[in-house]
Structure 1
Amino acid sequence: MTRMTHTADVPDNLVALKVQRSGHVAEVTLLGPAKGNAMGPDFWRELPLVFHALDADPEVRAIVLTGSGKHFSYGLDLPAMLPSWSEYLGGDALAGPRTAFLKEIRSLQDSVSSLAEITTPVIAAVSGWCIGGGIDVISAADIRLASSDAKFSVREVRVAIVADLGSLQRLGAIVGEGHLRELALTGKDIDAQRAERIGLVNDVYPDQESLLTAAREMAAEIARNPPLVVRGVKDVLSENHRARVEAGLRYVSTWNAAFLPSKDLGEAVQAFMERRGPEFSGE
């Protein structure tokens, strides 16, 4: 793809994302810079800026979202995010820090929701691992495609966190309540074939190259349709779930601001740093 020609509204100093365009199709690539395109502060800041800028460009009629390297994303970059959250997560955190943490959660939610809120269709092309925050992001896309090596995990429960960035609110309409509850309560990994069977992805392709080709072709097919009508279709479809998703996001952000700090969360973080299995006590 050729580099975007209309970059006035897209930041030119991006760190976590790369934007390219070919014709009426824009391609946004996760860059990390952490391993596995893990999502750190730069990602959460840049994601809504990029997607709102692309949505405002009338020349962009469809967007492909993918990851650089072998993986879509390992999810939240815990080492990068946790230091700034330490004051929120202490056992003696009072109303002030918890209110600040509520605002932080809702800011991250807004970043993910930018994919769903814009009227330009978004196709997520997933290779390799798509974990935690990666699932939140692709859940906010309109269409999901995968290569045969893709693996998916709503893994927050395994690190003592209630997923709060959209997967619990959006995946039910995509895969059904039963599959969502299984994924969210177990934190298990599923492969691309299972993801296709339950409707998490529409199609599975042999490798990353064929996946990206298919995603670009689908985006081009969408872009050939009347752009105002395409935007209208997405807006009307989104209205079917908008109020329920927004209410769910507000509820989980309030819940986590109140209940996320725990001994189990501290144990999960410590176990992650020490590369061992956690031992949860329910405290």
Structure 2
Amino acid sequence: MDGTYKSLRIEKNEGIAELVLTGPGKGNAMGPDFWREMPEAIRALDADDAVRVILVRGEGKNFTYGLDLMGMMESLGPLLTGDSNLALERLKLLALIGDMQQATEGLARCRKPVIAAVHGWCIGGGMDLIAACDFRYCSEDAKFSLREVKVGIVADLGALQRLPRIIGEGNTRELAYTGGDVGSARALRMGLVNEVFPTQEALLAEARATAKRIAENPPLVVQGAKQVMEYCADKSTADGLRYVAVWNSAFLQSQDLAEAFAAFAERRTPQFQGR
């Protein structure tokens, strides 16, 4: 366990790193500590060869209430309410938003698969966070809201860019324009989550089981599949096929491939080492 963070906790077990949102704001709200610590935590997990899968979840009754507006006032207040509010303040605000974007960008760029397990409320910045994950599970009590419009903000941490790929343009625009709430049943129908579980306990059990199944596969191959899919997202099929052909030409030969063949021949479970 890593106890060096104020806004999150990291628990590692058998190739799985659980990144737990802990606050300190109410409902795991995302304050200055979170925006500073999250990019650092993701970089560390990405660089750790022992970590094969990352599971993001919230502690307590909710995933996250999103941006901690009160907690961020020390940073945001002078940039929004200053007497001059001219070029210098605007450049500082631009830089602050760019720094905050690194929390979600870090998840999206992470080579390791990232699973989000959502229970309770997932609001605002929480939507940006889960949109940057590879896929999402939730419990029946989960409620989602892209609520920035309600507080006079255009969502600027990745949801507007990533959600259309996940739930489509129409659903994303509805969420962004209305700031309304979406329950777990509709979240499943629109494709925001892969599956809904009856309780938080069942959600966490299945999310961990899925993470374990991923962690048991050759880690470099899993990471390769992620990188190929990310590359192909805005490319033609022909470009994507060429890319994966080049990828396998470079990385197919490995000790893990030899282990897969040996385990098949010997009728045993393979033990992949990421080599």
Please, what TM-score do these two structures have when normalized by structure 2?
0.83
Structure 2 matches for 1:111-130, cutoff 5 A?
111-130=103-122
2:176 matches 1:184? yes
Alignment deviations for residues 171-198 of structure 1 (CA, whole Å, 9 cap, x no partner): 0000000000001000000100100000
What secondary structure does 2:24 align onto?
Answer: coil
What secondary structure does 2:49 align onto?
Answer: coil
CA RMSD of aligned residues (A): 1.3
What secondary structure does 1:156 align onto?
Answer: helix
Alignment deviations for residues 234-275 of structure 1 (CA, whole Å, 9 cap, x no partner): 1121223489xxxxxxxxxxxxxxxxxxxxxxxxxxxxxxxx
**Segments of 4+ moved more than 4 angstroms:** none
Find the counterpart in structure 2 of residue 171 from structure 1.
163
What secondary structure does 1:78 align onto?
Answer: coil
Letter in 2 for 1:54: L
Alignment deviations for residues 115-143 of structure 1 (CA, whole Å, 9 cap, x no partner): 01110000000000000000000000001
Find the counterpart in structure 1 of residue 139 from structure 2.
147
What secondary structure does 2:70 align onto?
Answer: helix
What's the CA shift for 1:92? Answer: 3.4
The 1-side partners of 2:133 and 2:143 are apart by 17
Find the counterpart in structure 2 of residue 77 from structure 1.
68
Higher relative contact order (CA 8 A, sep 6+): 1
2:91 matches 1:99? yes
Please, what TM-score do these two structures have when normalized by structure 1?
0.80
What's the CA shift for 1:65? Answer: 0.5
2:41 matches 1:50? yes
Alignment deviations for residues 68-122 of structure 1 (CA, whole Å, 9 cap, x no partner): 0010000000001022212211363110110011010011111211001110000
The 1-side partners of 2:74 and 2:44 are apart by 30
Find the counterpart in structure 1 of residue 79 from structure 2.
88
Letter in 2 for 1:20: E
Alignment deviations for residues 147-176 of structure 1 (CA, whole Å, 9 cap, x no partner): 000000000011111000000000000000
Structure 2: runs of 5 or more not aligned: 236-275
The 2-side partners of 1:242 and 1:231 are apart by 19
CA pair 238-179 structure 1, distance change in 2 beyond 3 A: same
The 1-side partners of 2:37 and 2:233 are apart by 25
Find the counterpart in structure 1 of residue 126 from structure 2.
134
2:186 matches 1:194? yes
The 1-side partners of 2:24 and 2:44 are apart by 22
Q: Is the 1:192–1:204 Cα contact (8 Å) retained in structure 2?
A: yes
Find the counterpart in structure 1 of residue 263 from structure 2.
none
- Alignment coverage as a number of residue pairs: 234
What secondary structure does 1:146 align onto?
Answer: strand
Alignment deviations for residues 52-78 of structure 1 (CA, whole Å, 9 cap, x no partner): 111111111001100000100000000
Find the counterpart in structure 2 of residue 62 from structure 1.
53
The 2-side partners of 1:64 and 1:240 are apart by 24
The 2-side partners of 1:238 and 1:154 are apart by 24
Structure 1 stretch displaced more, 233-242 or 79-88: 233-242
Counterpart among 208, 232, 237 of residue 216 in structure 1: 208
Q: Is the 1:39–1:76 Cα contact (8 Å) retained in structure 2?
A: yes
Q: Is the 1:116–1:238 Cα contact (8 Å) retained in structure 2?
A: no
Letter in 2 for 1:28: L
2:13 matches 1:25? no
Structure 1: runs of 5 or more not aligned: 244-283
Q: Is the 1:67–1:127 Cα contact (8 Å) retained in structure 2?
A: yes
Counterpart among 224, 231, 243 of residue 239 in structure 1: 231
The 2-side partners of 1:77 and 1:130 are apart by 13
What secondary structure does 1:125 align onto?
Answer: strand
What secondary structure does 1:79 align onto?
Answer: coil
Letter in 1 for 2:229: L
Structure 2 matches for 1:240-259, cutoff 5 A?
240-241=232-233
